[in-house]
């Protein structure tokens, strides 16, 4: 569904029904830049401001977990200069914004593969952000970086096989316990920007019963009012979790 054109304020939301965990597929940065005759990388830079406003909106209404899709395992197939930019860009975001997020009480976490493709300097910035913010409790910001939902499930199965757990003992709970972040709750709401109606390999296991909201807004134009509009739509739905109610 498309979100309404008009702005939605926090005062219009039912504060007793705020989703605990919201996930965002931040899509449309490149198209936003191309529509303005800019390099695709300029769209990613503008997307940083959108992300910060959404984080502040999440803090405003008391969302506990916010997960964002920053770089997928498939993004390595993009043009080499764009991949190089994204690696350096994500590193500089951490360096530039980490202290600010720490002061806001945001705990930074990462999910994804830590393999040879991720530069050592980027992983160092990630570890420093985790350590600096690990005691914060207002909001857990989960950054999916070098992440793929299928890869996460494959990695979980590999760990289970390495532990030689008998097949008869493997349950959904077993697999869930070997995912990248066992503390992270399943998302209540997933938002996808830019008019695409697909999930693109984001939190495939975790989103089994998530509510999905799609919007035509490109990520650089997305702000907290769009977040609130998505939550307003979520609050109009009745979650059944497979039951008849």
Is there a contact between 1 and 233 (Cβ–Cβ < 8 Å)? yes
Q: From the candidates 27, 90, 146, 188, which is the catalytic residue?
A: 27
DSSP class of residue 187 equals: P
75 is known as an active-site residue? yes
How many CB atoms neighbour CB 155 within 10 A?
A: 16
DSSP class of residue 135 equals: T
Q: What is the rounded distance in angstroms from the CA atom of residue 200 to the CA atom of residue 196?
A: 10
102 is known as an active-site residue? no
Among the listed residues 137, 64, 59, 149, the one whose alpha carbon sits nearest the alpha carbon of residue 111: 149
Q: From the candidates 14, 29, 53, 75, which is the catalytic residue?
A: 75
Q: Which residues are designated catalytic? A: 27, 75
């Amino acid at each position: 569904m498309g979100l309404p054109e008009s702005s939605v304020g926090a005062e219009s939301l039912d504060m007793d029904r705020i989703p605990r965990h919201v996930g965002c597929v931040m899509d449309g940065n490149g198209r936003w830049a191309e529509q303005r005759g800019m390099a695709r990388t300029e769209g990613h830079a503008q997307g940083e401001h959108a992300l910060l406003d959404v984080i502040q909106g999440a803090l405003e209404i008391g969302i506990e977990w916010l997960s964002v899709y920053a770089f997928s395992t498939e993004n390595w197939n993009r043009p080499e200069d764009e991949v190089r930019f994204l690696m350096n860009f994500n590193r500089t975001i951490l360096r530039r914004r980490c202290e600010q997020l720490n002061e806001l009480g945001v705990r930074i976490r990462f999910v994804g593969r830590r393999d040879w493709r991720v530069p050592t300097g980027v992983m160092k910035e990630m570890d420093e952000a985790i350590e600096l913010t690990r005691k914060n409790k207002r909001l857990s910001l989960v950054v999916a970086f070098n992440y793929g939902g299928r890869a996460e499930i494959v990695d979980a199965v590999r760990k289970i096989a390495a532990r030689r757990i008998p097949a008869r003992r493997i349950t959904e709970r077993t697999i869930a316990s070997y995912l990248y972040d066992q503390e992270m709750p399943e998302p209540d709401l997933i938002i996808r920007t830019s008019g695409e109606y697909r999930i693109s390999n984001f939190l495939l296991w975790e989103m089994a019963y998530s509510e999905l909201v799609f919007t035509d807004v490109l990520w650089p134009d997305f702000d907290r009012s769009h977040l609130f509009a998505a939550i307003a739509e979520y609050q109009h739905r009745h979650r059944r979790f497979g039951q008849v109610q």
